[in-house]
A and B are shown apart, each in its own frame.
Chain A
Amino acid sequence: MSAEVGFRPEPFPVAARTALADAQLRRNLGKATTTIRAKRAQVVGELDDWEALREAGRALKERVLRHLDDYLEQLEESVTQAGGHVHWARDAAEANRIVAEIVTGHGEREVVKVKSLTTDETGLNEALAAAGVSAWETDLAELIVQLGRDASSHILVPAIHKSRAEIRELFLRTLDVDELTDEPTELAGAARAHLRRKFLSARVGVSGVNFALADSGTVCVVESEGNGRMCVTLPDVLVSVMGIEKVVPTWRDLEVFLQLLPRSSTGERMNPYTSFWTGVADGDGPQEFHLVLLDNGRTDVLADRIGRQTLNCIRCSACLNVCPVYERTGGHAYRSVYPGPIGAILTPQLQGIDRAGSLPFASTLCGACYEVCPVKIDIPEVLVHLRARVVEHAAGTRPVPGPEALSMRALGWVFADRRRYEAAQRAARAGSVTISRHGRIRRLPGPLAAWTEGRDAPTVARQSFRQWWAARGGAR
């Protein structure tokens, strides 16, 4: 989604309204997230040492981030030794240029792609298109999104917002099929026939990376459909793009992550396809391998003591599936390839507070995300931290404080002194009496009116607690 660069997307509360009013979307999302939640809870419940695994995952990621420079150089060395080529990309544009040059350098006009959030983040498909290269998404859900000229709405299940009936209609319109029911096997069959032609013709494959092992240079992609296996084995040339935080020290570390990831993401004990490759091997698989290491804002995230835990993320999407906000709005409202709770903390850090400042507020801070996170990212902590950065940013850029900042300042002043606080209580009582009927308030004034659109508000009590306490003569 290179479209993300250059303009300020509409803020979350506005973008959410469209989704909230879409009955089909609400139904699709509610059903899908409820199902995945239950599956996750079941397979996580099977492990007695789940909490220890989470802690191990967190600690491993913390170590990687602390020594990221060392591990990345080690990775470069081992990939190179195994016959691969390593490229360093400072930002999305640089990464896209590297990939495009590799493809066009081979005179190719087509690539097959494994589902990859990182290349969605860089807007690789659009960049390749501009270079005259067609990028074919081969993950079923990504294909659905691509054929519909749609945007992904979930990290793991990009077409979670689509029903079977909608997918059938799309396939009839865009694939070379005459008849199709909305049975999942038939839908998958139609996609399979289409994709098989691409797998057999494309000479370049492009993938993301789930894990890259510093000591051996081995790269790992985890998936469910086998399309990834096709992409990383059939083409002559393979280009993998990875965020720099995806490096892990050794094979042993996968023992932890390959237990955490499938259970958290699809609610499976193990995912169906786990592909590993180390550089190139004569006569076996791609004969040319490129690994692109992408920064694109990650070192800035690393520099933030509280925000850096965001880089622990292994993209499982468990936080999306348990989030009360995501479940109602879906992913599009976040206007980013990273939606949900993780997107609410990652997007503003990667894109900047000024472009995504509404996202840290798109949460009730209920903590369900933190509870399920397999690498223990304290998402509420980061959300609140980013909110403070948004407030500071506004204070630093606005010529005069906004109404919210003024109210907050005034309330701070009131709470800082007991007399002022008690006077404010009396004033609130007086104000509330004028607008209440039968002990309830049906309409609040000003910005508080948002509250009474769907809910009544209580009236301020005739006698505050402290007045009652004083009247009864204090402690007994």
Chain B
Amino acid sequence: MRVSLFITCFNDTLFPDTGRAVVTLLERLGHTVDFPLEQTCCGQMHFNTGYQREVVPLVRRFVDTFADSEAVVTPSGSCAGMVRDHYGRMAEVAGDAGLAEAVARLSPRVQELSELLVDTLGVVDVGAYYPHRVTYHPTCHSLRALHVGDKPLRLLRAVRGIDLVELPAASECCGFGGTFALKNADTSTAILSDKLRHVLDTRAEVLTAGDNSCLMHIGGALSRQRTGVRTAHLAEILAATES
């Protein structure tokens, strides 16, 4: 299958390893990955912060960039959620019926990585090897916007060598919330401190998730407090192999 990668501006700039892992993984599974260079940002930050006028051109841009794609995959639950759940509303705000139609055609083809693997490609064991103690944080948007359920966990359980431990109170938010972390930094940190405690309780060496934004948040505190726990995007674990 030919899969178009929507890397997201965030991963492109800060976490390119995740994008490389998606490419490695999908190519190893026998698929072709393309990367339309005109892509930039899905507009989630603007949308969530109330700057809807700035979102509309980004919706148009996304729709134009991926119009011909058979399947679009993104290693971010919240960006996939932005496209699937909110692009329709943005087309409505723009008052553009053509855009609304284009969004309706494209958005069902946009998937977060675990959805693409399990639902579309029908694979759970991706042949990965990852000899580490790992705990998984299900990000809010993957859980409650995309409803990925246990797909990421099924993928992780099939990884050879992994010591997968359950994260207590896993479904609770980490306190990131995009610009919330800046506007309400104190409350954000208070929420984060509980997430951190749960991560440390697992004695895991690696915290994984399907979204680098949440991992940047939790990972930022893990690093600040010199906990010795590191973060790795789900894609990076699934891309890892023996040798």
Contact = CB atoms under 8 A, between A and B. Distances in A.
Interface stretch (A63-71, A126-134, A236-244, A406-414): A406-414
B202 interface: no
Given A365-B177, A390-B50, A418-B40, A16 B184 contact: yes
Contacts of A390: 50
Interface of B: 7, 9, 11-17, 19-20, 23, 27, 32-35, 37-38, 40-41, 43, 45-52, 54, 57-58, 61, 86, 140-141, 143-145, 171-173, 175-192, 216-217, 219-221, 223-224
B226 to A, nearest CB: 10
Nearest to B223: A456
B12 A464 contact: yes
B110 to A, nearest CB: 18
Contact of B50 (A391, A416, A461): A391
B52 A388 contact: yes
A440 B225 CA distance: 12
B117 to A, nearest CB: 19
A324 B195 CA distance: 11
Given A365-B177, A412-B58, A455-B224, A461 B49 contact: no
A109 B161 CA distance: 76
- Which of B49, B175, B179 has the most A CB atoms < 10 Å from its CB? B49
A461 B86 CA distance: 29
A83 interface: no
A362 interface: yes
Given A324-B191, A455-B221, A465-B16, A365 B184 contact: no
B183 A361 contact: yes
A325 interface: yes
Contacts of B190: 20, 26, 328-329
Contact of B187 (A362, A408, A417, A457): A362
Given A363-B180, A421-B40, A460-B13, A325 B191 contact: yes
A366 interface: yes
B186 A20 contact: yes
Contacts of A409: 51, 54
A475 B34 CA distance: 5
A20 B173 contact: no
Interface in A355-373: 360-368, 370-371
Interface stretch (A110-118, A145-153, A249-257, A444-452): A444-452
Given A328-B191, A476-B33, 11 more contacts: A16-B187, A325-B184, A363-B177, A367-B145, A368-B144, A387-B50, A415-B43, A451-B182, A454-B185, A456-B219, A466-B12
Contacts of B57: 412, 416
A428 interface: yes
A468 interface: yes
Given A13-B187, A364-B191, A428-B13, A384 B173 contact: no
Nearest to B12: A465
B183 A13 contact: yes
Which 6 pairs from chain A and chain B are nearest by CB? A455-B220, A364-B177, A387-B50, A412-B54, A367-B144, A366-B173
B187 A465 contact: no
Contacts of A465: 7, 11-12, 16, 19-20
Interface of A: 12-13, 16-17, 20, 26, 324-325, 328-329, 360-368, 370-371, 384, 387-392, 404-405, 408-409, 411-412, 414-418, 421, 425, 428, 440, 442, 447-448, 450-458, 460-461, 463-470, 474-476
A451 B185 contact: yes
A474 B118 CA distance: 26
A366 B187 contact: no
A411 B13 contact: no
Given A324-B175, A412-B46, A460-B13, A418 B186 contact: no
A387 B191 contact: no
Task: Give the interface centre of B19, B45, B143, B184 by most chain A CB atoms within 10 Å.
Answer: B184
A17 B210 CA distance: 31
A23 to B, nearest CB: 12
A293 to B, nearest CB: 33
Contact of A469 (B9, B35, B144): B35
B184 A361 contact: yes
Contacts of B140: 364-368
Contacts of B172: 324, 368
Contacts of B17: 461
Contact of B173 (A368, A440, A454, A475): A368
A390 B9 CA distance: 26
Contacts of B177: 363-366
Contact of A416 (B58, B184, B223): B58
Given A363-B177, A388-B50, A455-B217, A329 B20 contact: no
Contacts of A448: 182
19 contacts: A13-B184, A17-B186, A368-B144, A384-B48, A388-B51, A391-B49, A391-B52, A405-B51, A412-B46, A416-B40, A447-B182, A451-B181, A453-B185, A454-B189, A456-B223, A458-B216, A458-B219, A466-B37, A469-B35
A405 B12 CA distance: 24
Given A324-B172, A468-B20, A450 B182 contact: yes
Contacts of B183: 13, 361
Nearest to A14: B186
Nearest to B35: A469
A458 B40 contact: no
A431 to B, nearest CB: 12
Contact of A460 (B14, B34, B191): B14
Given A16-B184, A364-B173, A418-B38, A458 B15 contact: yes
